[in-house]
Amino acid sequence: MLKYLLKRLGSTVLILFGATLLSFVIMINTGDPLADLREMQSDNVEYLMQERIERMGLDQPWYIRYWDWLSGILGCFGGSCDFGTTMTGAQVTPVIMAAAEQSLRLVFVATIAAIVIGVLTGIVTAMRQYSLLDYLVTFFIFLFWSLPVFWAAVLAKEWLAIRYNDWMMEPHFTWTNILVLATILAIFVPMVLGGNAKRRLITGGIMFAFVCAVLPWMNAVNFMTHPRLGPVIILIGSLMLAAGFTALIAGIRNRRVLYSGLTVVALGMVAYYATWNLLQDPPGGWLFLGAMFVLTIAICVVIGRSMGGHARGQATAVSVLTGALMSGMILLDHFMYHWPGLLSAKPRPVSTIGSHTPTLDENFWVTALDQMTQLWLPSVLMALLSLATYTRYTRSSMLEVQKQDFVRTARAKGVTERTVILKHAFRNAMIPLVTIVAFDFAALISGSIVVEQVFGWNAMGNVFITGMQTNDPAPVMAFILVTGSVAVLFNLLADILYAVLDPRIRV
């Protein structure tokens, strides 16, 4: 394994080296970095040109320029990276660091959203193959696939940001809204849940009644301006989660697993009250929250393993999943608690320019909320871009696996449908997904250039485009190196994971 890893790492570094060399040569041979000076009319043009030629080394042959650039990068291994200087003499390193942080945040959020939604949709459409739902989803997936992202971005700006902000001035649902939404869900949810006609009618009816009850309630408590989950909803939600995961993973009759899930819920409720004041101003921000989350998961693992008995593995899975999602709900409640704070500081919550509001000077939660509202439009768009890949992939992979002998054997020996789908089919269908993620990541970075441009983010895309327009190699190369390294790293990780997950792959 170690030998394989080293070999892979070596070839990765070589590829990265080759790619930067190729790009560098193309870059310096396709544009004129003096173009803006040639058009200038002032007297000292000659001097300015000479100065720029000196600074950028334009009189040097390409291999010396490349070596200059490369030796700055190789400094990274010595602890001090140098991405070179732009044509005006500014340092690229601090700019690219700040930009990379924003861009990667966007790409990560979008990737995770796309994977979760795409895989779920893929499984559902595979289970309901050739149903109306399948055809509808297929059509929309093709539509998203064919969508020019910049065009969709302008639409999203108008409808999801500007119209939403207008609506937030005086947010309440009219009865027309409620009925339309209820009807759509009443048709759509039974299509997903399936079953015979009777069951579909019942689920549809329940869904309709549910929406018709919840939305007026939201109007009544001013949910859109003062949202709260509150302990009651968190408790009910987590109980449902614990029961649901038990039913999915172990079957509801497995009491040990159910009890460990319920214990997690009880402890979670205690933690909710215990940490409320502490979390009002978390020392250290996201790091502290991350540490709390890790602690939660650790506790969940301990509960699962100690209470699970013979079903230890399943109990651990249930308690970890319940714990993770319950922490998510508690986090959401904290964010909701501070939503009015954001609204008072920023009456139009979703603005269409920039990755954060520079003038905002509030506590941790409001700042984080501001970043999220800015992040949500671009990440939705990017998620749409890669949703197609994951959905189509999961669907065909699930269908493929279901034809395999081991699935038939499992059915033949009387394994329940739940176990067949989750344990035999799903697990094996998901293994190659790892490699898709690595490929998709590079594609998403392309997408992020466009999305950042539309939403006026001062991030990687901007660095690249300004560099291209002025024919300035340093920023462009910095972009290629950073995105390339991340993509290659993902690819490496995917290969390792693949080998670990699938024992058929010999390493």
Partner 1 sequence: MSNDQTPEQQNTDQDQQMVDLAEVEDTKLEEKSKHSYSQGQLIRRRFFHHKPAIISLIMLGAVIILAFSSIGFGAVPGWWDKHYQATGSIVDGGRPMMFQDGNFLGEHPFGQENVGRDYFAMVMRGAQQSLIVAFVTAVVSSIIGIALGAIAGYFRGWTESIIMRLTDFVIVVPTLVFAAMLGHIAGGSVVMLGVLLGCATWTGMCRLVRAEVLSIREKEYVSAAVAMGASPARIITKHMIPNSIGVIIVNATFAFVTAILLETTLSYLGMGVQRPEVSLGLLIEQYQNAFSTRPWLFWFPGLFIIIIALAGNFIGDGLRDAFDPRQRRSGDSRPSIAGVLGLRGVQRAFRPKSDVGMPAAGGSGGAQLPAGQNDPHGDAKRFGRKK
Which residues form the interface with partner 1 (CB under 8 A)? 14-16, 18-19, 22-23, 26-27, 30-31, 127-132, 135, 142-143, 145-151, 154, 158, 187, 190-191, 194-201, 204, 402-403, 408, 416-418, 438-439, 442-443, 445-446, 449-450, 453, 464-465, 468-469, 471, 476, 479-480, 483-484, 487-488, 491
Element (H, E) at 437: helix 433-454
Name which of 315 and 450 has its Cβ closer to partner 1: 450
Closest by CA to 386, choosing from 105, 114, 104, 112, is: 114
User: Which residues touch 144 (CB under 8 Å, ≥6 apart)?
Assistant: 384, 385, 387, 388
Name which of 67 and 150 has its Cβ closer to partner 1: 150
Q: Closest separation between CB of residue 457 and partner 1, Å?
A: 14
Q: Closest separation between CB of residue 43 and partner 1, Å?
A: 31
Name which of 51 and 400 has its Cβ closer to partner 1: 400
Name which of 333 and 495 has its Cβ closer to partner 1: 495
Q: Is the dihedral of CA 42, 47, 50, 52 positive or negative?
A: negative
Q: Closest separation between CB of residue 224 and partner 1, Å?
A: 24
Closest by CA to 431, choosing from 505, 341, 486, 335, is: 505
Q: Closest separation between CB of residue 192 and partner 1, Å?
A: 11
Name which of 86 and 327 has its Cβ closer to partner 1: 86
Distance between CA atoms of 100 and 485, rounded to whole angstroms? 12
Q: Is the dihedral of CA 434, 439, 445, 446 positive or negative?
A: negative
Q: Closest separation between CB of residue 201 and partner 1, Å?
A: 7
Tokens of residue 120, six digits: 């779920």
Q: Closest separation between CB of residue 291 and partner 1, Å?
A: 34
- Reduced to 3 states (helix: H, G, I; strand: E, B; else coil), residue 80 is coil
Name which of 149 and 433 has its Cβ closer to partner 1: 149
Name which of 311 and 480 has its Cβ closer to partner 1: 480
CA dihedral 484, 487, 493, 494 (to 10 degrees): -140
**Which ranges in 281-311 belong to alpha helices (H)?**
286-308
Q: Closest separation between CB of residue 394 and partner 1, Å?
A: 15
